[in-house]
Every structure is written in structure tokens, then in C-alpha cells.
Amino acid sequence: MDKKVFFKVVKILIKETKRFKKPVVGKLFEKDDPYKILISTIISLRTKDKITEEVSLKLFKVADNPYSMVKLNTTDIENLIKKSGFYRNKAKVIKNVSQTLIERFNGKVPDDMEKLLSLKGVGRKTANLVLSLGYGKIGICVDTHVHRISNRFGIVKTKNPYETEIELMKILPKKYWIVYNELLVIWGQNICKPVNPKCKECVLNTLCDRVKVGK
């Protein structure tokens, strides 16, 4: 897929994804504070959107800032987020991140990539979501959907999400950086699935290179 076709694909996705539900983190917290975005993104890892929404709202009714979160013990947090995958590890991360925010950043989520990555348990995907949704800073958040579909399109040939992020930053106009993640997450959840993608009903059928897609 060349750049001109890729830009056309992005424009089509902007129009076509409007008929589907937005990813839960963007839907719930894009106009809210960075702390909720940070914590809900941690909860969302390997967890379905419906559960992420339910669990995040349940947790934030009890503690919606780092100061109230650290007052809970790890078991309390575990019980509140128990429906999410790997909830025990996530509870430890949430507790630790909240404590670190208080100790190092006066309880405020930093708006800097390097500082966000210094938080134990926070990776580039989470950091980019916080920066883009929480602070409106441009960046390309690359999760499994973005990495997989960008390679399936044929616009990049990369081995991991970090490589994909770097290559997309060279290709994609900055005006699409923030929205690109949401577009591909929606498309990956509904049409361009990891297994048995719905190529026959996909509006991008004739544009996509369908790299490594079987029948």
C-alpha cells in the first residue's frame, strides 16, 4: 500500500467508524482528567471494553484520584476490579502508580512521555493515550490492533508496536496521529479481526494489501 492509498484509507475509516461504538477509554474519559485515563487504560489491558467500563466506573466511585486510591489496600482494589484480567497484578500497579504520583509529581499525572514511562507498569501505549486524550498532545498510540492492522494494510513492515509507532510517525500526517488509534481499534474489534477478518464486507477490501491474510 502506498502513501496516497493509505491516506485515502484513513479518511474512509474516519467516516465508516462512526457507526460503531467508541473504545471505552476514549468514550468515558476523553474530556475527564488524565488520572482516570491512566488507571482505566491499565485496567483495559487484556480486558474487554464492557468489563473495563464497568470496573473503571466501580473503582472511581470509591477512589477517583491518587490520594483516595492510596488509602485503599491492595485487596480492596483487587475486589473492585476483580472482573478484569490479571486483576491482582493490576491492583498492585494501580496502588504503586498512585503512590508514585504523590511522592514524585505532587499527585498530578505528568504530561511528559519520559516521566510517564518512569512509572512502573506504564508502557508506551498507556503513556500515549494519557498524553493524547488527557492533555491533547499529538502522538500515535500503538496497541495490538494498530500494530496488526497497519502491517496487514501493508503500510508498514514491523516486528513490534514500538517499530510501528516510529514508522507511522514518518508516514502519517500529524493531524491524524491522535485519532489513528481509535480508528484501528474500532475497525479491529468489528471488521478487521485477528482471526477470520470480515474482508468480504470491508469497505477497504480493494485498497488493503491483506498481508498474511488467508481465506
Report the binding-site residues for [4Fe-4S] cluster.
Answer: 192, 199, 202, 208
Among residues 84, 32, 35, 34, which one has the least CA distance to residue 58?
84
What's the angle, vertex CA 90, arms to CA 86 and CA 92, rounded to 5?
Answer: 125
| Rg value, the chain, Cα | 18
Q: How far is the CA of 28 from the CAs of 3, 23, 134, 161, in angstroms?
A: 33, 9, 12, 25
Residues making up the annotated binding site are 192, 199, 202, 208
Instruction: Report how far residue 4's alpha carbon sits from residue 60's, in angstroms, rounded to the nearest whole number.
Output: 44
Instruction: Report how far residue 151's alpha carbon sits from residue 95's, in angstroms, rounded to the nearest whole number.
Output: 36
Instruction: Report how far residue 161's alpha carbon sits from residue 144's, in angstroms, rounded to the nearest whole number.
Output: 7
Instruction: Report how far residue 148's alpha carbon sits from residue 211's, in angstroms, rounded to the nearest whole number.
Output: 10
Q: How many CA atoms lie within 13 A of 97 on its CB side?
A: 32
* Amino acid at position 149, single letter: I
DSSP reduced 3-state for 142: coil
